[in-house]
Amino acid sequence: MKVMKIIGVAVLLLIVVGTIIATVGCGRKYSLTINVSGQGITNPTTGIQSYGSGKSVTVTAAPASGWQFDGWSGSVSGTSTSTVVTMDSDKSITANFTLAPITIVDSSITIVSGDTYYIDLTAGYYNVSFTSDDDVTVQWLGGNVDLGNNVDPEATATTTPNGGAVTTRSYTKNNVQAYGSTTLKIYNPTGIFNNPTALLHLTIIKVK
């Protein structure tokens, strides 16, 4: 009888201890720190959130206008805008956003002899290219513009507030840095056109 009682007490103790352990485990919480690099938002929002042990937390990222989602870093990785974080310890994640390329394309610009076409650009880095079916002149105006290592009549200096004009039918500049607001001027001095108009196929990409 005593043996049975001892066994019964031992079993009861095991049950009680197991219940306590399970209760403590279920009550444990971990912190999830959500950060943002660049411009965008997350859901749940940035900051420190608290979740129970074992909880699966779905976090989504949405870029601000003009930005794009570049991926997660920290306790998670991947490039999907949605990620799942398993809360088995304290976690810290960052939603990374980068400037989205801004592409300005106009394949039907017609420049009449003597006319001028202005493109206003904000500070940043640009890739510029165009082709024309007749001679046109291109010039960078206003604000410091770094033309990089491109060598042509326009780039007499690495940095110039007003780039010299160059007349061409094909133009390419990559990583042109505008330190402030600037204007790209494309025009045809009177009398140069062989035809009365020039059709310009223009692409401008803001890369960062």
59 in any annotated domain: yes
20 in any annotated domain: no
Domain's final residue, options 42, 69, 99: 99
Beta strands of the chain (E only): which ranges?
29-37, 40-43, 47-52, 56-63, 67-74, 82-86, 91-99, 102-112, 116-121, 124-141, 145-146, 159-160, 166-178, 182-187, 197-206
* Candidate ranges 144-148, 160-164, 169-173; pick with highest mean pLDDT: 169-173
Q: Is 48 helix (H, G, I), strand (E, B) or coil?
A: strand
Query: Structural domain tally of the chain?
Result: 2
Whether residue 121 sits in one domain with residue 184? yes
Give the tens place of pLDDT for each residue, 109-154.
Answer: 677 666 777 777 777 777 888 777 777 777 777 656 666 544 343 4
CB 138 within 8 A of CB 154: yes
108 in any annotated domain: yes
Domain's final residue, options 99, 123, 151: 99
7-21, 58-72, 91-105, 115-129: least confidently modelled range: 7-21
Whether residue 192 sits in one domain with residue 151? yes
Give the tens place of pLDDT for each residue, 85-114.
Answer: 999 999 999 999 987 766 665 556 677 666
Distances (CA, A) of 97 to 56, 66, 122: 24, 10, 20
Whether residue 198 sits in one domain with residue 111? yes
CB 97 within 8 A of CB 64: yes
Model-level pTM? 0.49
Whether residue 131 sits in one domain with residue 53? no
Whether residue 93 sits in one domain with residue 68? yes
Residue 1 has pLDDT above 60, yes or no: no
Whether residue 113 sits in one domain with residue 95? no
Residue 189, domain extent: 102-206
Domain's final residue, options 99, 116, 141: 99
Whether residue 112 sits in one domain with residue 82? no
